[in-house]
Amino acid sequence: MRIEIWADVVCAWAYIGKRRVERALAGRDEDIEVVWRPFRIDPTAPAGAVALEEALRDPLMDEALRACAPGLTPAQNRVRISEVAATEGLGPNWGSPWRVSSHDAHRLIALAYEHGGAGLQDAVAEAVMRANFLHSMDIGDRAVLGSVAASAGFPQGAALLHTDAGEALVAELLLQGKARGVRTSPTLVVGDRALGGAQSPRVIAEFLARGRPGRAVPAEVERLRWAESLLDRRDPLGALVLLRPLMEEFGADRGVRLLAARACFASAQLRRARALLEAVVEETPADPYARMLYGRTLQRLGLDEEARVHLRLADPASGAMSGTGG
């Protein structure tokens, strides 16, 4: 069984959730792989650390924190989380004094999995969160992250952070999480089932006991579904990122091209949409949806006369009613 933990390492509940997952898994003798995936709770956080007290004076950040804990002030929420963390053995010192981007930390954690598998990745994730929450270290600083990686058994991590290694991987994983409906840190995912929040060990154990994931679908089918999900969530540019390898390997597949055309149309890449749809319409001239999308693309390009032909063919009844039937 693979358990994916979609979480942000600057989220206190992610560290608390890690302890609870460990307790839920204690004593289980089955083969379980725990994999950490990136999530961003504060995507606008600065690359350079800012003192949290200073950051909290920003009305937008204060509003966002209040939304995370309705009915509590940010200060009250920090006290509550500290008390919960203490019950999980996280202390005695607790809490990061910084507002900082977790981007490089996510790169490091993703690279640890690529280089050493789940065991190394878990050790690095633990070390990063311990540095952030228990030792008040600036995990946005690459020198700090490099030292943390070395202490966790990943000495090559420091040099990798000074390259673009892991950039594309983290960007794609963030899109996958969005496509799969991950909305909170942490979220446990097993197959197509998800459990949001740092739930109790009992709830986690019950979630895992409800059955193994169903039979896996081919990777390319799964990627196509994620791309379609992003398009449905009004992220056509993200959909195109996920479609890129499919276009390279399965560019002749009509379904792949039609989905790419939809994403191009939605992101106003009209010339690219036109080229894709022209080929699809030539191959399947009786497809009304492809005809309609092609006609609308031509319309937006200012080619009204040509567009009318395809829109009429897509919906002959509509053309007759409007007086443009032939």
Same domain assignment for residues 83 and 230? no
pLDDT classification of 142: cutoffs 50, 70, 90: very high
Query: Of 15-29, 51-65, 219-233, which range is least confident?
Result: 51-65
Query: Of 46-55, 60-69, 237-246, which range is least confident?
Result: 60-69
Q: What is the pLDDT of residue 262?
A: 98
State mean pLDDT over 120-130. 98
Residue 92 resides in a domain:
yes
Exposed / middle / buried, residue 125 (Cβ in 10 Å: 0-12, 13-18, 19+): buried
As a whole number of angstroms, the distance between CA 267 and CA 234 comes to 9
As a whole number of angstroms, the distance between CA 6 and CA 17 comes to 11
| pLDDT above 50 for 325 | no
Query: Which phi and psi angles does 131 have, rounded to 5°?
Result: -60, -40
Q: What is the CATH number of the domain that holds 143?
A: 3.40.30.10
Strands 98-99, 50-51: pairing is antiparallel
Question: Which has more pLDDT, 78 or 318?
Answer: 78
Domain stops at, among 178, 209, 240: 209
Q: What is the CATH number of the domain that holds 226?
A: 1.25.40.10
State mean pLDDT over 81-110. 93
Longest Cα–Cα distance in the chain:
81
Same domain assignment for residues 53 and 141? yes
- Contacts of 69-72 with C-beta under 8 Å, sequence gap 24+, read none
Residue 145 resides in a domain:
yes
Query: What's the length of the chain?
Result: 326
State mean pLDDT over 177-191. 95
Domain stops at, among 182, 209, 236: 209
State mean pLDDT over 243-272. 97
As a whole number of angstroms, the distance between CA 264 and CA 226 comes to 16
As a whole number of angstroms, the distance between CA 129 and CA 96 comes to 10
Residue 326 resides in a domain:
no
Of 184, 242, 222, residue with least CA distance to 39 = 184
| pLDDT above 50 for 62 | yes
Q: What is the pLDDT of residue 316?
A: 66
Domain stops at, among 179, 209, 239: 209
Q: How many domains does the chain have?
A: 2
Q: 96, 52 in Cβ contact below 8 A?
A: yes
What share of the chain in percent tops pLDDT 70? 92
As a whole number of angstroms, the distance between CA 53 and CA 123 comes to 30
State mean pLDDT over 136-150. 97
Residue 305 resides in a domain:
yes
As a whole number of angstroms, the distance between CA 201 and CA 127 comes to 22
| Three-class secondary structure of residue 267 per DSSP | coil
Same domain assignment for residues 44 and 151? yes
State mean pLDDT over 283-299. 95
Query: Of 140-154, 170-184, 242-256, 304-318, which range is least confident?
Result: 304-318
pTM given for the model = 0.89
Average per-residue pLDDT in the chain? 91
> Between the CA of residue 109 and those of 24, 177, 212, 242, 325, what are the distances in Å?
22, 16, 26, 21, 61
pLDDT classification of 112: cutoffs 50, 70, 90: very high
Same domain assignment for residues 94 and 160? yes
Same domain assignment for residues 44 and 189? yes
Which residue segment(s) compose the domain that 202 sits in? 2-209
| pLDDT above 80 for 314 | yes
As a whole number of angstroms, the distance between CA 5 and CA 39 comes to 9
| pLDDT above 90 for 215 | no
pLDDT classification of 63: cutoffs 50, 70, 90: low
Q: What is the pLDDT of residue 66?
A: 66
Q: 15, 102 in Cβ contact below 8 A?
A: no
Assess whether the previous peptide bond of 285 is cis (omega < 30° from 0): no
Same domain assignment for residues 223 and 172? no
Q: What is the pLDDT of residue 271?
A: 97
Same domain assignment for residues 149 and 288? no
Same domain assignment for residues 150 and 253? no
Same domain assignment for residues 112 and 176? yes
State mean pLDDT over 162-171. 97
pLDDT classification of 326: cutoffs 50, 70, 90: very low
Q: What is the pLDDT of residue 75?
A: 75
